[in-house]
Amino acid sequence: MAETHPTCLASLLFLVRERFYRQAVNSAVSFLKTYPNDPVLLFFKALGALNEGRTQEAMRELSQLRDKPQTSLCSVMALLCAHRQSAAVDREAVSELDVCLKMSRRTAGDRALYFASLLYWILGRNEKARDYVEKSLKMSSSSSQGLILKGYIFLTSDNDVERSQAARYFDSGLRDSKDVFGLMGKAEFFMVRQNESRALDMVNQIIASHPQFIPALVLKMNIFMSHHNWEQAAEEAERILETDAHNLKALQMMSVISAAKDGDMRKVKEYLQRLLSAVEVTEPSTLGLHVEITLPISRLCGHNGDVVQMLTSFVQRAVSRAPGDSALASELGYLLTLQHKYKEAHRWYTKALNLDPESMAALEGMIRCQLMDGQVEEAAQQLDFFHEVQQSLGRSAEVTLLQALLAQKKGAAQESVATLLKEATELHLQALRGLHHSVDYLQKLNLNFLLQVVRMHLANSQDAPYDAGQPHPFGLKHSCMILEAVIRAAPGVFTSCYYMAQVKFLTGDQAAAQHFLNLCMEKEPAMPEIHLLQAKLHLHAGDYSKCLNCLESGVSYNFELRQMPQYNLIKARALKGTGELTAAIQCLCMVLGMPGVRRVTEGQKTSLSLSERASVFLELADALRLNGEQHEAAKVMQDAIWQFKETPEEMRVMVANVDLALAKDDVDTALNVLQSVPPDKSSYVQAKEKMACIYLERLRNKKLYIECYREICEHLPGPHSSVLLADAFMKIQEPEKAIEVYQEAVKMAPKDASFATKIGQALVRTHQYDKAVNYYETALSTSMQDSVCLELAELLLKLKCFERAQQILEKALDHENSTNLSTMMNDVAFLRILVKVMHAKNEPCLDNLQQIYELQQKIVRRLSFEQPEKIDQEKRMAAVICCELAQKVCSNHDLEKAKQCYSEALIYCADDIEINFQIAQLYYEHNSLDYCEDQCFKILKLDEKHTSTSMLLADVLFRKNQKEEAIKRYTDIIYQYPGNFQALARLLHMLRWVGRLDDVLPFFKACETYSPTAVTESGYNYCKGLYYWHAYRVREALIHLNQARGDPEWGEDAVELMVHICLNPDKEIFGGEVFESSEEDLDSSPPFAFEGKLIGMSIAQDLLRTFRPRSKTGQDKAVFLYNLCLVHSKEPKQVEKAVLDLSDMVAKNVLLEASLLVAAQAFLLLKQSPRARNFLKRISKAKWTHAIAEDFEKSCLLLADMYIKIGKYTNAEKLLDDCIRYNMSCSRAYEYKGFMMENDQRYKDAAQQYELAWKYSYCTDPAIGYRLAFSYLKCKNYTQAIDVCHQVLLEHPDYPQIQTEILNRAQLLLRP
C-alpha cells in the first residue's frame, strides 16, 4: 500500500496544497508503478485531473473508487465537486451522490473517514474536516495519521487558541512513529510560532532520513528565509534545483533573492525566464498558478521595465488561453500600469470588471488609471461610490491610497494628503501582522504600493536638508518608517535605497545618505537621479568641485541629464559657491525658461517639485544680489512672492525676502514683513523664530527675543510651543526660567521623555545635581523611558553615586531577552555605563564586556539586512567595544586575548587609524618592538601626518638603539608642529639620555617664534620647567612648573615633578649612605630660598592638598606622592604607614616601579636592608622603558650605593654602567664610579669620571667639584684643580675644606 511508503502521501499532499496539480498527477502515476491499483494513489491522480479542468476524466476515475473502503467517502465528495463545477450540472446524478454520501457516512470505517477529512482540509473546509477526523479518531483513538491530520486542521485554523494547540496533536501522532507528514506539520507549527531553530531541527530529522525529499528541502529553504538568512536559503534552493531543475518553489526563491537581497536584475531576469518556462512545462493547465507564482516578482521589481515586460508577455499568453478569467485580466492591467500604459490598462481592467462585476481589484485599477491619465472628476465619482461601500465593508488600503492621490491631484493641503497616506499604510501593513519573512510576505508587502506612498510624501518636501533642531515634517518621518520596513525585508531593491538616501539627506544624516547612495551606485550607475542626489550631498558639504565633477560623471552615463532642470539648478548652486556668479545666473535663467518652471498651467507636467521651483527663483535672486544687480534681484523676488503665494513655499520665499532686506541692513523692513504673518498661517512659527533671531543677533535685545516665543505660546498653546520658549531661555543663559517652562510642557505631554531629559539637563547646567537626580527618578517612576534612564545613570556616575547608578542600570536591564533592535541597542548603552560603574568600584567587569560584545555582534548581523544605513555606525561601536575588551584583558596581562580582540575590531573597521594605533601601543608596552615598528609604518601609509604614530615610532627606534634617527623624527615633528609640546617633552628626555640636553634650547626658540603667546601656554612652561630641573636650576624650574600645574593636560605631571623637587632639590640618592659622611660637612641648603628641608616638605604637602586629579591614574599618583612625603619625613611611624600603603600598591600592580623604589627607601630608613635590596633588584631586572626610566635609574643608583657600602664594587659597576647606557647625563653614576676608583687610588680614572659628573651636574654640586679637584691634585694636575676650586668657591664661597686642603696646596705645589 502507498500509505506505508514513508514519503508518498506527504509528497502528494505537498503538491496538492501548493496547487501543483499536474505534478501531483505525475507523482501519483510514478508511485502506481510501485503500488499498482492503489486506491489512494488513484484518488490523488483523479483529484489532480479534476483541478486541472479535466472533469470527465476525473469523474470516470473517481466512479471506479466508490467501492473501495478507503476512498468510498472521499471519492463521492470529489464526484459531487466535479458535477457542481461542470458547465451543465447533472442534477439527478448530484441527488444520487448526496444520498450515497449520507449512506456511506453511516457505514464508513476509520480510514474512509480519515481520507474524507483529508479532502475537506485540502479544500479549505476546516470545520467539516474536523468533524470527520474526530469521528475517525473515535473509532481508532491511537491513529497517528488521524492525530497528525487533526494537528494540521488546528494549525490552519483562523482561531489563535486552536493554532496554539496543534503541537499537542502532532506530538501525540509522532509518539510511536516518525511520520514524515507529522514532522513536516510540527516544523510548520514552529514556524508559525516563529521558533525557527526548533523548526529547523524537525526538518533536519526528515532530511537525515530522506535526503532527496523535496518538500522538506523547500521547507528548510523557507525557514532560512524567515530568519533573513539569504545565503543559506539560496544554497538550499540550488540544492533543490540540482535534484529538480524545474522546481517552481526553488526558482521562485532564487528570483526573489536575486531581486530582494542582491538587487541584481540580470540574475532576476535569468531565474525569472527559467521560472516562466518551468511553470509552463510542469503546470501547463493551472493558469491561475502562472500568475500566482510570479506575483512576488512583480511586486518586488515593479521599478524595472525589462522584468515587468517579461511578466506582461507571460500574463498575456495566459490571458489568451483563459479569456474568461477576471483575475488574469486584472493582473495584466496592473502590469500595464507599472509601465505607465494607463489607457491600455484601463481597457483590461474594464474587461475584468465585465467578467466579474464584484472584482475590487479591477475597479481600483480603473480608478488608478483615470487618476494617472488626468480624468480626475471621473475618478472622484468612482471613489465617492467606493466611500459609500466601504462604510459597510470596511476601509481598504488601496482605496485610501487612491483618495490620497485624488486629494494631491486636486491640490489639497499636504496635511490632509499625509493623513490619508498614513491610514493607507496602516491598513496595508495590517495584512502582514503575524506573517514571518517569506516569499508570501514580500508579495503582500508590495513594494510598489509602499514606494508610491513614499513618492507622494517626498513630492512636496523641500529640496535642501532641514536645519539641525528643526522639526521634520510627518511625511519624512513616515517615509523613513516605511523605508526601514522595506529595506529590512528587501535590502537589495535599489529604488527603496535611493528614496532612503533622499530621506536621510533631507533629515541631515549625510553619512547614512551616502551609504545608501553607494548601494544605488553599485546597482544602477546610469540612473540620473542618483548622480543628482550625490551632487546635492557634495553641495551641502560645501565641496563644490566634487559637486560639479559628480554632475559631469552623471552626464557621461546619461546625456539626457543635461536637459533636466535639477541638473542646472544644482550646477548653478555649485557655480555660485565657487564665485562664478555670471555662469550661475546663466544656468538659472535657462532653468527659469524651461516649461513648467516659471509658472505651471493646468494639466502641464513638470519634473520639478514646488520646492525646487521656489529654489530656482530664490537662487537667482541671491546670485543677482551677490553680483551687484540689486534691482534685478528685487524683481525676481517680487515675482517669486506672487508665484508662491498661498503655497507651502510662501514662508520660505518670505524668509528669503527678509534675508535680502537684512543684506541691505534694512532691519525695519525685515521685521515688518515678518510681523505681517498672522497666527492662522502655517508659516507663523517660522516667522516668529526669524524675528527672534533678528532681535537677538542684530539688535541684542533679549527681552524682545523672548517675547517672540511668548507670542507663539499665546497664539499656539501646546507642549511644542512651550519647549521653543524654554529652549530660548536656555539660549540666553536663563536655565531657571527654562525649567519652569519645561515643567509646564511635561504637564501637557507627560509621556514625552524628551521633556524630562531637557529639564534634567537644565538642572545639571545650573549645578542643581540633587534636584536633577530626583527629577529623573520621579520621571522613571511614572514611565521607564530608556533615554531618561541613560541620562540619570550617567549623571550618577559623574556624581560618584555608584550604587544608585548600578541599581538603575540593573533595573533597566531586568527584562526578558528581546529581539527588538532598539531594545538591544539600548541594552548595549546601559551595559557600557554599567561597566564604567563597576570599573569605578574596582569590581570585575570582563564578563559584562564580553556580554556587550556578543550583543553588539547580533545587532551588526541584523542591521546589514534591517537597517543598513546604521551599519557603519554600529560597526564602529562594535570596534570600540572590542578595543575596550582588549584594554581590559591587557590589564589582566592576557596579551594573546588582547591581540585577538584588536583583530576582531579591525574586522569591523579595517583602516581605522586609532585602532591600529592602539595595537601598536600594545606591542610597544609588551616590548614587541619589531611588531610595533611594522604597525607604525602601516599606520603612516594610511596617514603620513599621524603625529602620535610618528612619536611612537621614534620611541621604538630609540629603544632599538637607533637613537639619532629617533631624535631626527622628533625634531621633524616639532619643526612641522612647533606647538606640539608632547613631542617637545619627549625630545627633551631623549636629548638628556644621549647627553645633549642643551640641544633642546633652539626648539624653545622655534616655539616662541611660531607663537608669541607660547610662553604663556602650560605645555611650554612644563617643558621649560623640566629642562631647568635637569639643568640643576631649581628656582626657574619651580617658577615654570607652577604656571603649568593648573592645566588639565599638564597639571598632573607638573605637580608630580614639583613634589619631587621640593622633597629632593639636590637630586640626592635618598636612602644612600656612601656620600652621607661627606655631605654632613657641607651646606645642605638648596640653591633656592628654602630654609631647610622642612620647608620643602611643607610646600610639597600644600601642593598635594590642592591636587585634584580626575583620572584613576592621577588618583593613584596622588596616593603615591602622599606616601612619598611620609617617607621623606623620616619619622618611623609615618614611614611604617607609608610602607603599608606602598606594599598594597605593589600587590595591586599600581605604579609598580615607583612604588617598589619608595618602599625600598622606606625599608632602608627602617633598617631593613635585605627587603629593600630585594625590591630594588626587581626594578633593576625590569625591561627599561621610557615610562620607568627615572625609577629604573634611581633604583640602580641606590642598589649600587648599597653594594659600594659593603665593598661589592663589581656588582655596583654593572648597575652604574646600566644607568649610563640608558642615560649618558647621569651625573650620580659617574660620581659613584669616580668614588670607587678614588678608593682604589686610581686618581686619573677617577678624575675622568668626576669630570663627567661635574659636567652633567652643570658645575653646581660642590661635593662633586671637591672630589674632582682632589683627584686632579692627586694626579698632579694642579692647574685644573685650581680652576675647579675657583668654580666651586664662586658659587659656594663658604664651602668647607676646599680652600685649605686643595686650593692652597695646589698653588704651593705649582710654584717652582
pLDDT at 1083: 44
* Torsions phi, psi for 1071 (to 5 deg): 100, -15
Q: pLDDT-based confidence at 1086, cuts 50/70/90?
A: very low
CA separation for the pair 1162, 1031 (Å, rounded): 28
CA neighbor of 1171 nearest in space, from 1217, 1209, 1202: 1202
- Higher-pLDDT residue of 63, 873: 63
Kindly state the cell numbers that stand for 417: 494628503
Q: What is the pLDDT of residues 1090-1149, one digit of tens each?
A: 345 677 888 998 999 888 887 778 888 999 999 999 999 999 999 999 999 999 999 888
| Residue 1211 confidence (pLDDT) above 60 | yes
CA 1102 from centre of chain: 48
> 1216 pLDDT exceeds 60?
yes
Q: How confident is the model at residue 507 (pLDDT cuts 50, 70, 90)?
A: confident
Q: Give the residue among 476, 516, 491 at the shortest CA–CA distance from 869.
A: 516
Q: What is the pLDDT of residue 605?
A: 57
- Backbone phi and psi for residue 1108, each to the nearest 5 degrees, phi listed first: -125, 75
From 829-843, 985-999, 1193-1207, 1248-1262, the region with the lowest mean pLDDT? 829-843
Residue pLDDT, tens place only, 137-190: 988 877 899 999 999 999 999 888 888 889 999 998 888 778 899 999 999 999
Q: By C-alpha distance, which of 1210, 1284, 1207, 1212 is closest to 1247?
A: 1284
Q: How far is CA 523 from CA 485, 535, 564, in A?
A: 20, 18, 22
Joined together, the cell numbers standing for residue 398 give 488601496
pLDDT of residue 700 exceeding 50 = yes
For 614-633, the pLDDT digits (tens) are: 888 888 888 888 888 888 88
Least confident of 264-273, 380-389, 1168-1177: 380-389
Q: What is the DSSP letter of 894?
A: -
**pLDDT of the residue at 1090:** 39
Q: Give me the chain's average pLDDT, please.
A: 87
**pLDDT above 70 covers what percent of the chain?**
95
DSSP codes of every residue in 467-536: PTTPPPPHHHHHHHHHHHHHHHH-TT-HHHHHHHHHHHHHTT-HHHHHHHHHHHHHH-TT-HHHHHHHHH
Whole-number Å distance between alpha carbons of 196 and 202: 10
Tell me how crowded residue 930 is: count the other CB atoms within 10 A of its CB: 10
- Mean per-residue pLDDT for 111-127? 92
pLDDT for the residue numbered 1030: 94
345-356 pLDDT, tens digit per residue, is: 999 999 999 999
Q: Which of the four pLDDT bands, split at 50, 70 and 90, describes residue 599?
A: confident
CB half-sphere exposure, 248, CA atoms < 13 A? 24
| The residue type at 1158 | V
Confidence of residue 1 (pLDDT cuts 50, 70, 90): low
pLDDT at 1003 over 80: yes
Rounded distance, CA 215 to CA 235, Å? 15
- Over range 555-563, report the average pLDDT: 82
- The per-residue pLDDT for 466 is 75
For residue 1312, the model assigns a pLDDT of 59
**For residue 250, how far is the Cα from the chain centroid?**
35
Farthest-apart Cα atoms in the chain, separation: 161
pLDDT for 1087 beyond 80: no
Q: Please report the pLDDT score of residue 783 as a whole number.
A: 60
Quick: pLDDT tens for 246-277. 999 999 999 999 999 988 999 999 999 999 99
Is residue 1063 over pLDDT 50?
A: yes
pLDDT score recorded for residue 454: 94
pLDDT at 862: 80
φ and ψ at residue 1238, rounded to 5 degrees: -65, -40
Burial-class residue 1249 by CB neighbours within 10 Å (0-12, 13-18, 19+).
Answer: buried
pLDDT confidence band for 28 (50 / 70 / 90): very high
pLDDT at 784 over 70: no
Q: How far apart are CA 1230 and CA 753, in angstroms?
A: 70
Of 383-392, 831-840, 844-853, 1237-1246, highest mean pLDDT? 1237-1246
pLDDT on residue 246: 94
Residues 572, 619 contacting (CB under 8 angstroms) = yes
Angle 1169-1173-1177 (CA atoms, 0-180°, nearest 5)?
175
| CA 495 to centroid of chain Cα atoms | 23
pLDDT at 389: 64
Residue 320 has pLDDT above 50, yes or no: yes
| pLDDT at residue 602, as a whole number | 54
φ, ψ at 88 (rounded to 5°): -115, 110
Which segment of 651-665, 1057-1071, 1188-1202, 1203-1217 scores lowest on mean pLDDT?
A: 651-665
184-223 tens-digit pLDDT = 999 999 988 888 888 999 999 999 999 999 999 999 999 9
The stretch 928-940 carries a mean pLDDT of: 91
What stretches of 1070-1152 adopt beta strand conformation (E)? none
Residue 713: per-residue pLDDT: 87
Q: Is 394 left (phi over 0), alpha (psi -120 to 50) or beta?
A: left
Say whether pLDDT at 1205 is over 70.
yes
pLDDT, one tens digit per residue, over 1291-1309 is 888 887 888 888 888 888 8
Confidence of residue 860 (pLDDT cuts 50, 70, 90): confident
As a whole number of angstroms, the distance between CA 273 and CA 744 comes to 64
